[in-house]
Structure 1
């Protein structure tokens, strides 16, 4: 009898824990097109610090969240952006990949994949939470945010194809009428 009570007590506690956490997650307001993009200040793989507020009124921003450095899909996406970044740079935009990986991991990952753009690190996961991309297992979901010069979210792409990431970003920038570079 005692073993059954302990198991039932354990099960009851586990169910309560799960319900409390699900309720907390459900209360998080998901970002939508037209919302102000959460500001961030993050370290880049190039040794610089980047803040969204630095681009306000000056330039659109693309923030491509990815799950984990050195994994297959993320490597494919990073290589797409490195190889075809010229398509994105036709537009007056700054673009970044971002993850919750430590800076050292993103630096090595960027170097290994010849990334000529910064990979941002959010190891404290605060920015990932603000963008509502933090997976329950602790990594970032693969979502790309297009942010206008006024700081509002123009588009959220939650169906990213890593192999054509650069081409898709460039096409989206064109659809969003982002100013072309001269």
Structure 2
């Protein structure tokens, strides 16, 4: 029985380690990515280099209450968010077809990126011991450097908070 308990503890530790990553730090170069969007297009960080900031709004799981509230908030404030030189993406480890359905159901005016391999999630430090990403928003400057890692997202005010961060970070308006 003691052996079985030890085996369970080892398995649990391995599980948590497989789904844990080191958070990014402000000033670091953001890891490259190339991911499929809910609109069927493929997006990469390098395509925005030198042109506009990139914001990755990580959420845990499509079609869940908190994630729906957060993504709707961003959609409802799309006009205000579009006033800035920012490529905005919601992003999760869900399969592309799940994020496509989620984006269509919410009629989102921005793409949701899919990272089912979790490679980008791990590189961006948003895996916190679970097979889904933590709710984090990562702000990346035109130069590819991390400007802010916001891990205190309030789903209901996600867009308003994002707009405040744009101002605080000095992100250019169009």
Same fold at TM > 0.5: yes
Matches within 5 A, 1:91-106: 91-106=84-99
Write the distance in 2 (CA, Å) between the matches of 1:61 and 1:25: 25
Match of residue 13, structure 1, among 7, 29, 33: 7
Bigger relative CO (Cα 8 Å, ≥ 6 apart): 2
Q: Is 1:126 matched with 2:119? A: yes
Q: Deviations over 1:45-102 (max 9, x none)?
A: 1111000111111110000000111101111111111111112111111100000111
Q: Is 1:44 matched with 2:37? A: yes
Match of residue 140, structure 1, among 118, 133, 138: 133
Shift of 1:164: 1.2
Q: Indicate the SS of the match to 1:38.
A: coil
Give yes or no for contact 2:69–2:156 (8 Å, CA) kept in 1: yes
Give yes or no for contact 1:87–1:167 (8 Å, CA) kept in 2: no
Shift of 1:37: 0.8
Write the distance in 2 (CA, Å) between the matches of 1:118 and 1:23: 30
Write the distance in 1 (CA, Å) between the matches of 2:29 and 2:151: 18
Write the distance in 2 (CA, Å) between the matches of 1:140 and 1:23: 14
Matched residue pairs, number? 174
Structure possessing the higher radius of gyration over alpha carbons: 1
Q: Is 1:160 matched with 2:153? A: yes
Write the distance in 2 (CA, Å) between the matches of 1:47 and 1:145: 23
Q: Deviations over 1:12-32 (max 9, x none)?
A: 233344456667778x54311
Q: Indicate the SS of the match to 1:42.
A: strand
Show the counterpart of 1:110: 103
Q: Is 1:55 matched with 2:48? A: yes
Show the counterpart of 1:30: 23
Give yes or no for contact 2:55–2:139 (8 Å, CA) kept in 1: yes
Show the counterpart of 2:59: 66
Unmatched segments (≥5 aa) in structure 1: 1-6
Show the counterpart of 1:4: none
